[in-house]
Structure 1
Amino acid sequence: MCDDSNMARKQVLRALPADWQVSITEAGDGRQGLDAIRRGLGQVVLLDLTMPEMDGYQVLSAIRAEGLQAQVIVISGDVQEEALRRVRELGALAFLKKPFDQDELRQTLDQLGLLNASGQAQVAVRPEPTTEISFRDAFRETVNVAIGRAAALIAKVLGVFVQLPVPNVNILEVGELHMALMDAGNCNQLTAICQGFIGSGIAGEALLMFHDSEIADMAQLMQRQGAEYSDLEMLLDLSSVLIGACLSSIADQIDVVFSQGHPQILGQHAAIDELIRVNRQRWKKTLAVEISYSLEGHDIHFDLLLLFTEDSIERLTHKLAYLMS
């Protein structure tokens, strides 16, 4: 099992058929996973794609290049059609979309003939799922699924492959948050779009930032026609898709419904000061999610910052408790 998320590995471990006589090795990144495969510990590999050090695509490429004997099933939140095509081309036998269910995994293993494969270990050696899952890890995995779904929509809109990052999830003190926002505000070549959301005791702001030098290239990708469709209208439309998809996926996974405000341009960056001033009291401590998307083959990047109020953290913890247990 190769995944940088403790929670994801725990979910897979719980979902494996109890009667499957195999020894199990866990790896927290692609480099560790590839090393285990080289040592003969990965006849069957359950592989994530978005990981630090070495991602799943690189692991698959190395397995093929070195002629390693490993049968790979990808389990990932990156659900772009191009992602599915690439992993198949690199030799993966199947692709499961996160979150998956136990029956789906067993059915896949059975269809591939892996449950009755020869050369199994005679005695099952399984690590006990005793690792305590932190709130940060549980929420990061939830966000990981969400950004994958959002990327799939953006990929269709722009006709490109979106390179996904490992999301950063941190709880920031008010001073740290202000510094991060002011850094954004001090960039004269940045356009920022803000959209508020609230639901089931959870509230916050989504801030999407575009580099002005890249907007013309984005317009070309969107095949914008006619001067009446301005750059700002295009960015607002793109923001609605990206932010809406992320929030919708998070809401689905934790069983809440978010009401979203209209996306607004933070004009001339002075409005970032206003954003800080209005939210100063409820943002004394903030759950901040940083996501940096980039488009393959293009010098285009945009950053999404999801900011949840301090009061939201307790509610989110309650919603994620079943995943953390």
Structure 2
Amino acid sequence: MTVSVLICDDSGFARKAMARSLPDGWDIDISFAEHGQEAIDMIKEGKGDILFLDLNMPVLDGYQTMEIIRKQDLPTLVIVVSGDVQEEARNRMLAMGAIDFIRKPIDNEKLTTILAKYGIYNGDTSASHREQTTQLSDTADEDEKLDAFRELANVAMGQAGENLAKVLNEFIELPIPNVSLLHTNELHMALDEVNQNSQMSAVSKGFISTGISGEAIILFNDSNVENMANLLGATNDENHEGAEVEALMDVSNILIGACLNALSAQLNVKFTHNSPIILGLHCDLYELMNNHVSRWDKVLAIEIAYAISKHNLNFELLLLIPDQDVDKVFNRLVFQKVG
């Protein structure tokens, strides 16, 4: 009997990656949804016996979607597939009725183990045919490339968030990354408007591998630097500016290190990187960004806005890759096998 499988993810690249991992021998009819509301409608139409559900999406995210499925007792088995791999995210979704949780990028062996565990599918695990029929072409347009980069960032963001959550023992709220190709004099416009008139502090860390280079920058507005220093245990007796610098460096090492490790794994490259440096304390954002990246004409800019609401904390990780390396990143991500 054919099983209806619904893959719900706002990224077309992620939807194809999920479809590629499904075993060839599994008798399924695959449908796709771009957000939770679309998934709910399709389940009601009988198109989602099994739902593979992302968490970070527009319209209805994974948490909101799961809540509706539970309240309306919709006929679907939910397996979460997410870049947000924090323990609290996993526990929340399992408590609402998801049967299991898989981290991105999707692991075929992990997937088939879960399918067998719940008696969903126990046959041949090969997915070579689906891999051939769901690949991106080498003629992908800019929107398709940006979507692929957004998913690349989504996985890196999730792993960095997981590391920070463990250190702080707090749940880190993760956004949908903003990804753009920009001239460097437009970078300040890519950041949240709330920061544009604020004094900022920033830490930078460059990275490079064969053919691919870039820079990661952590941005805090002044109020958030103080809040982060307090969360990390600074006391009133400590040197105020010294505590702020230490907080900036600690968070930068955690987030940037985890992000670069995740990028390395997905691109099958090994990045070397320098020690983090303070770009500026209590500076104007426009001046700070334009002066620092003026050596490049155009960049791939990936903006990730992390938040810890109960501590009124918001800060941003900005990944910058120069335009001449963008196609190399895309080719690594899409066409080269890991290993």
TM-score range, shorter chain: 0.7 to 0.9
In structure 2, relative to structure 1, the CA distance for the partners of 1:130 and 1:145 (3 Å cut) is closer
Q: Which residue in 2 is equivalent to 1:129?
A: 134
In the alignment, structure 1 residue 115 sits paired with structure 2 residue 106: no
Q: Distance in 1 between matches of 2:274 and 2:315?
A: 21
- Structure 1 stretch displaced more, 232-241 or 102-111: 102-111
- Which one of the candidate residues 47, 71, 82 is aligned to 1:41? 47
Counterpart secondary structure, 2:56: coil
Cα deviation, residue 220, structure 1: 3.0
- Which one of the candidate residues 174, 177, 193 is aligned to 1:167? 177
Q: Which residue in 2 is equivalent to 1:297?
A: 310
Q: Which residue in 1 is equivalent to 2:283?
A: 269
Q: Which residue in 2 is equivalent to 1:124?
A: none
Contact 2:222 2:282 in 1 (8 A): no
Counterpart secondary structure, 1:162: coil
Contact 2:21 2:106 in 1 (8 A): no
Q: Distance in 2 between matches of 1:38 and 1:304?
A: 39
Q: Distance in 1 between matches of 2:119 and 2:190?
A: 51
In the alignment, structure 1 residue 158 sits paired with structure 2 residue 168: yes
In structure 2, relative to structure 1, the CA distance for the partners of 1:217 and 1:174 (3 Å cut) is closer
Contact 1:37 1:68 in 2 (8 A): yes
Q: Distance in 2 between matches of 1:264 and 1:112?
A: 49
Counterpart secondary structure, 2:8: coil
| Percent identity for Structure 1 against Structure 2 | 40
Counterpart secondary structure, 2:181: strand
Q: Distance in 2 between matches of 1:144 and 1:274?
A: 26
Q: Which residue in 2 is equivalent to 1:320?
A: 333
Q: Which residue in 1 is equivalent to 2:77?
A: 71
In the alignment, structure 1 residue 31 sits paired with structure 2 residue 50: no
What is the CA deviation profile of residues 197-229 of structure 1, one whole-angstrom value per residue up to 9, with x for unaligned ones?
222222222221112223333233223356156
Counterpart secondary structure, 1:257: coil
Residue segments in structure 1 that go unaligned for 5+ positions in a row: 117-127
Q: TM-score, normalised by structure 1?
A: 0.87
Contact 2:201 2:219 in 1 (8 A): yes
Q: Which residue in 1 is equivalent to 2:238?
A: 227
Counterpart secondary structure, 1:152: helix
Residue segments in structure 2 that go unaligned for 5+ positions in a row: 1-6, 123-132
Q: Return the structure number with greater strand share.
A: 2
Q: Distance in 2 between matches of 1:211 and 1:268?
A: 8
Cα deviation, residue 39, structure 1: 2.1
Q: TM-score, normalised by structure 2?
A: 0.84
Alignment of 1:77-88 (within 5 A): 77-88=83-94
Equivalent residues, number: 312
In the alignment, structure 1 residue 246 sits paired with structure 2 residue 250: no
Cα deviation, residue 106, structure 1: 1.8
What is the CA deviation profile of residues 42-77 of structure 1, one whole-angstrom value per residue up to 9, with x for unaligned ones?
121111111111111111111111111211111111
In structure 2, relative to structure 1, the CA distance for the partners of 1:201 and 1:271 (3 Å cut) is farther
Q: Distance in 1 between matches of 2:219 and 2:59?
A: 26
Contact 1:286 1:307 in 2 (8 A): yes
Alignment of 1:192-203 (within 5 A): 192-203=202-213
Q: Distance in 2 between matches of 1:53 and 1:297?
A: 24
